[in-house]
Structure 1
Amino acid sequence: MRILHTSDWHIGRTFHGSSTMDALAEVLDALTAQVREHAVDVVIVAGDVFDSATPAGAAYTLLSDALVSLHDAGARVVVTSGNHDSAARLGFQARLLRDGIHVLTDPLAIGDPVTIDDEHGPVRFYGIPYLEPAIVRQHWNDVEMRTQAQTLAHAMDLVRAGMTENPGRSIAIAHCFAAGVDATMGLEREVRQGGLDVVPLAVFDGPDYVALGHIHGRQRVSERVRYSGAPLHYSFGEQSKPRGSWLVDLDADGLADVRWLELPVPRRLVTLTGTIDEILSAENVAAHADDWVCAVYTDALAQTEPMRRLRESYPYCAMVQHRPDVAEETVERSYADRLRGAVTDTERIEAFLEHVRSGHGPTERERELIREVLDDRVRADALI
Structure 2
Amino acid sequence: MRLLHTSDWHLGRSFHGVGMLEAQRGFVDQLVSFVEAKSVDVVLIAGDVYDRALPGLDVVKLLDDALVRITQAGATVVLTSGNHDSAIRLGFASRLLERGGVHLRTRVEDLDVPVLVPFGKDGESSATLAIYGIPYLEPRLVADRLEVETASHFEVTHEATERIRRDLQDRRKSGAVHPVVLAHTFASGGITSDSERDLSIGGLGAVPLDLFEDFAYTALGHLHGRQELAPNVRYSGSPLAYSFSEAKHCKGAWLIDIDADGSAGVQEVLWEAAKSLAVLRGKLNDLLESGEHSWAEAAYCQITLTDAERPAQAMEQLRTRFPDTLVLSFDPEGAGPKDKVSYSSRLAAAQDDLEVCCGFLEHVRERSPGSAEEAALRAALEAVRLEEAEL
Give, in angstroms, the shift of residue 269 of structure 1: 0.8
CA distance in 1, matches of 2:210, 2:389: 79
Q: 1:219 to 1:280 in 2, by over 3 A?
A: same
Residue pairs, 1:165-204, within 5 angstroms = 165-167=170-172, 168-183=177-192, 185=193, 188-191=196-199, 197-204=205-212
| SS of structure 1 residue aligned to 2:22 | helix
Gaps of 5+ in 2: none
CA distance in 2, matches of 1:374, 1:149: 68
CA distance in 1, matches of 2:245, 2:20: 17
Amino acid at match of 1:308: E
Determine if contact 2:305/2:331 at 8 Å carries over to the other structure.
yes
Match in the other structure for 2:142: 136
Q: 1:291 aligned to 2:299? A: yes
Amino acid at match of 2:260: A
Match in the other structure for 2:160: 155
Q: 1:365 to 1:296 in 2, by over 3 A?
A: same
Instruction: Provide, for residues 72-99 of structure 1, a one-character-per-residue CA deviation record: whole Å limited to 9, x for no partner.
Output: 1111110000000001111102223243
| SS of structure 2 residue aligned to 1:210 | strand
Q: TM-score, normalised by structure 2?
A: 0.85
Residue pairs, 1:108-257, within 5 angstroms = 108-119=109-120, 120=125, 121-140=127-146, 142-167=147-172, 168-183=177-192, 185=193, 188-191=196-199, 197-257=205-265
Determine if contact 1:14/1:20 at 8 Å carries over to the other structure.
yes
Q: TM-score, normalised by structure 1?
A: 0.86
Q: 1:86 to 1:151 in 2, by over 3 A?
A: same
Q: 1:351 to 1:243 in 2, by over 3 A?
A: same
CA distance in 2, matches of 1:374, 1:315: 39
Q: 1:144 to 1:380 in 2, by over 3 A?
A: farther
Determine if contact 1:218/1:228 at 8 Å carries over to the other structure.
yes
Residue pairs, 1:284-363, within 5 angstroms = 286-326=294-334, 330-331=336-337, 335=341, 345=351
Instruction: Provide, for residues 228-249 of structure 1, a one-character-per-residue CA deviation record: whole Å limited to 9, x for no partner.
Output: 0000011111011011000111
Count of residues paired in the alignment: 378
| SS of structure 2 residue aligned to 1:171 | strand
Amino acid at match of 1:137: A
Q: 1:289 to 1:81 in 2, by over 3 A?
A: same
Amino acid at match of 1:149: F
Amino acid at match of 1:128: I
Match in the other structure for 2:104: 103
Runs of 4 or more, structure 1, over 6 Å off, are 348-358, 360-384
Among the aligned pairs, what percent are the same residue? 38
Instruction: Provide, for residues 275-323 of structure 1, a one-character-per-residue CA deviation record: whole Å limited to 9, x for no partner.
Output: 2222222736743332111122222222333333333333322111122
Gaps of 5+ in 1: none
Determine if contact 1:129/1:174 at 8 Å carries over to the other structure.
yes
Determine if contact 1:147/1:196 at 8 Å carries over to the other structure.
no
Match in the other structure for 2:15: 15
CA distance in 1, matches of 2:204, 2:329: 33
Match in the other structure for 2:282: 274
> What is the alpha-carbon root mean square deviation over aligned residues?
3.1
CA distance in 1, matches of 2:312, 2:373: 15
